[in-house]
């Protein structure tokens, strides 16, 4: 499979112009942004090898982490500019004691076109106990990460013996009103690539959609190796041994491509960020836990909201920063370019 070409053309007349001062949050390539990923912490209850080092991680200073009111302020302005989905992530968002309050405040926001949706990506540890309160607060959708359902592998991969807690969280989510439930796994050679079909069956048994993610160069240890990553085509090949796969059309701007299994209602998704990038339809922007706006997972520059938030800046200053951040977005992530530079932050500190 060859990579999907990025069909964006930078408008020469706009490239060096200032970001527009009104209208939706648009970049120089015409991509309108509707999705803000908010990282609530860089800390985590697991230590997945592809995301964090086992030891020696440099944590963000506690006082630098944005508080509930600061997050709400940025989100309110983003919503007024058309951001309609807020995805809470991290690190592990369930480690935030004020998570219910964050969700409650964000879910009350409105875009010019209507209400916002609150989604969360989580490892599900502690979710079973907390889920009813999160739903009451306004949580609308859940993605749960589970790379293996084998206890010994789980301990090796996450360096923590917590598979039981994750499974309890998945069970609670599958019995809740939050649909569609999505389960995410990073496919890894020699780690879980013999378990992909079992994961799909596990998801089906829990009324969820399994989605496989190609491993990206975002680990804090900088150990990613292209030659070892499991590709979209290899994932599909492995699944085709158990099911007949039919591509589901109409992906829109979604990161995952989907396939129907044996013509049934069940589907599987693949997020092929490396071998089939979907940057051309990207509508996502990110806020790190320490108040940096990032226009791409792989960006090497950030836009610092802290002096505005903590230095008496106005809402107009925040809007201006959001507009400039998105305006400066590059056409694609360039992982496949020889000059690609992995961002200094690991995935846990960016917010996946």
Q: Closer to ligand SF4 by CB, 45 or 111: give it.
A: 45
Give CA separation, 146 vs 51, 112, 122, 235, 299, in Å. 14, 36, 9, 16, 26
In the complex, minimum distance from the CB of residue 95 to ligand SAM, in angstroms, rounded to a whole number: 9
We find the least distance from the C-beta atom of residue 183 to ligand SAM, in angstroms, to be 9
Beta bridge partner(s), residue 181: 208
Q: Which residues pair with 143 in a beta bridge?
A: 121, 182
The residue count for the chain: 352
258 binds, among ligand SAM, ligand SF4, none (CB under 5 to 8 A by kind): none
Given the complex with ligand SAM, which of 256 and 293 has the nearer CB atom?
Answer: 256
Distance CA 138, CA 122 (A): 16
Of 219, 244, 252, the C-alpha closest to 349 is 219
Residue 219 interaction partner, one of ligand SAM, ligand SF4, none, beta carbon < 5-8 Å per kind:
ligand SAM
DSSP 59: P
Which among ligand SF4, ligand SAM, none contacts residue 299 (Cβ within 5 to 8 A by kind)?
Answer: none
Least distance from ligand SAM to the Cβ atom of residue 215, Å: 5
Cβ distance to ligand SF4 smaller for residue 45 or 85: 45
- 8 Å CB contact between 51 and 218: yes
Nearer CB in complex with ligand SF4: 31/182: 182
Nearer to ligand SF4 by C-beta: 44 or 321? Answer: 44
Residue 218, contacted partner among ligand SF4, ligand SAM, none, CB below 5-8 A by kind: ligand SAM
Give just the sign of the alpha carbon dihedral 224, 280, 318, 84.
Answer: negative
Q: Considering the complex, what minimum distance in angstroms separates the CB of residue 15 from ligand SAM?
A: 31
Contact between 41 and 90 (Cβ < 8 Å)? yes
Binding site for ligand SAM (CB under 6 A): 44, 50-51, 89-90, 92, 121-123, 145, 184, 186, 213, 215-216, 218-219, 347-348, 352
Supply the minimum distance, in Å, between the C-beta of residue 248 and ligand SF4.
26
Instruction: Find which of ligand SF4, ligand SAM, none residue 52 binds, CB within 5 to 8 Å per kind.
Output: ligand SF4
Quickly list H helices, the chain.
Answer: 12-15, 68-80, 99-107, 127-137, 151-158, 163-174, 196-205, 232-240, 306-310, 315-327, 347-350
Cβ of residue 111: shortest distance to ligand SAM, in angstroms?
A: 24
Q: Is 244 helix (H, G, I), strand (E, B) or coil?
A: coil
Q: Which does 47 bind (CB under 5 to 8 A by kind): ligand SF4, ligand SAM, none?
A: ligand SF4
From the list ligand SAM, ligand SF4, none, partner contacted by residue 288 (C-beta under 5 to 8 A by kind): none
CB of 54: closest distance to ligand SF4 in angstroms?
Answer: 11
- Please give the Cα distance from 72 to 16 (Å, whole number): 31
In contact, 90 and 44? CB cutoff 8 Å: yes
Residue 46 or 196 with smaller CB distance to ligand SF4? 46
- Say how many Å lie between the first and final Cα of the chain, rounded: 25
Shortest separation between residue 231's beta carbon and ligand SAM, angstroms: 13
Pick the closest to residue 148 from 170, 176, 178, 121 (CA basis): 170
Q: Residue numbers of the site for ligand SF4 (CB under 6 A)?
A: 44, 46-48, 51-52, 90-92, 123, 145, 347-348
State the pairing for strand pair 141-145/117-122: parallel
**Pick 50 or 202: Cβ nearer ligand SAM:** 50
């Amino acid at each position: 499979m060859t990579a999907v070409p990025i069909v964006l053309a930078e408008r020469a007349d706009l490239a060096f112009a200032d970001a527009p001062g009104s209208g939706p949050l648009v970049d120089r390539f015409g991509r309108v942004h509707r999705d803000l990923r908010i990282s609530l912490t860089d800390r985590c209850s697991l230590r997945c090898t592809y995301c964090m080092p086992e030891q020696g991680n440099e944590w963000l200073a506690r006082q630098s982490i944005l508080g509930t009111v600061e997050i709400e302020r940025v989100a309110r302005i983003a919503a007024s500019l058309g951001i309609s989905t807020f995805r809470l992530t991290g690190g592990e968002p369930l480690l935030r004691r004020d998570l219910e309050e964050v969700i409650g405040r964000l879910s009350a926001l409105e875009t010019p076109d209507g209400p916002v949706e609150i989604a969360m990506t989580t490892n599900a540890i502690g979710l079973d106990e907390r889920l009813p309160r999160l739903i009451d607060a306004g949580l609308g959708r859940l993605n749960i990460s589970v790379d293996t359902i084998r206890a010994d592998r789980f301990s090796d991969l996450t360096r923590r013996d917590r598979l039981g807690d994750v499974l309890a969280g998945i069970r609670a989510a599958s019995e809740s009103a939050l649909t569609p439930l999505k389960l995410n796994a990073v496919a890894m050679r020699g780690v879980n690539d013999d378990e992909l079909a079992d994961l799909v069956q596990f998801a089906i048994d829990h009324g969820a959609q399994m989605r496989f993610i190609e491993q990206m160069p975002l680990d804090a240890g900088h150990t990613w190796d292209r030659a070892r990553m499991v590709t979209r085509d290899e994932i599909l090949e492995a699944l085709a041994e158990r099911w007949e796969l039919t591509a589901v059309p109409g992906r829109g701007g979604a990161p995952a491509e989907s396939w129907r299994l044996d013509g049934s209602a069940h589907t599987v998704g693949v997020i092929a960020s490396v071998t089939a990038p979907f940057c051309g339809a990207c509508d996502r922007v990110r806020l790190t836990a320490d108040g940096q706006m990032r226009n791409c997972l792989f960006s090497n520059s950030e836009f610092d909201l802290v002096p505005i938030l903590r230095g008496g800046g106005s809402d107009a200053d925040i809007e201006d920063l959001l507009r400039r951040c998105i305006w400066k977005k590059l056409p694609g992530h360039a992982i496949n370019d020889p000059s690609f530079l992995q961002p200094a932050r690991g995935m846990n500190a960016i917010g996946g």
